[in-house]
Structure 1
């Protein structure tokens, strides 16, 4: 009996651009204190936009950011930088 070699077949669903790894498409804003806890314990964090997930990667400069999280974060920064009321 001879051994047969099957041809390589791409098994990804049509239209899928990734290979199935867990690289996030967008990075979210999360409370800093919760990031280390999630990375060590595997617990889920809640992003400003409401998304929940375990922290598995850290963003690199230029990484895509969730537009909802960025909008919410920017409103916090504007509130903090006004120097109080006159």
Structure 2
């Protein structure tokens, strides 16, 4: 059994894309890594384990990775 630990999370961020570079779904990543990735192009690691550079921010009602959502909801609040 594997244990996942993380810190403060912000809104979900994109990854999996269509051919036109539009994200199919967004992922949860560490809040502290979002700006750094967007500016420097560094890769972030989503709760589900997927790695990618931040290129877009989600809009309201954007689809969220079901694995990230499940992990996020299981984390302790606070």
Q: Scaled by the length of structure 1, what TM-score is found?
A: 0.67
User: Aligned residues, how many?
Assistant: 61
Larger radius of gyration: 1
| Secondary structure of the corresponding residue to residue 26 of structure 2 | coil
In 2: Cα distance, 1:69 partner to 1:49 partner = 5
| Secondary structure of the corresponding residue to residue 36 of structure 1 | helix
Deviations along 1:30-85, one digit per CA (max 9) or x if unpaired, are 00010000000001100000000000000000000000000000001xx337xxxx
Deviation at 1:23, TM superposition (A): 1.3
In 2: Cα distance, 1:57 partner to 1:37 partner = 13
Which has the larger share of strand? 2
| Secondary structure of the corresponding residue to residue 34 of structure 2 | helix
Residue segments in structure 1 that go unaligned for 5+ positions in a row: 1-17, 82-86
Larger relative contact order, structure 1 or 2 (CA cutoff 8 Å, min sep 6): 2
Q: How does 1:38-57 map to 2 (within 5 A)?
A: 38-57=37-56
* 2:50 paired with 1:80: no
In 2: Cα distance, 1:44 partner to 1:58 partner = 15
RMSD: 1.3
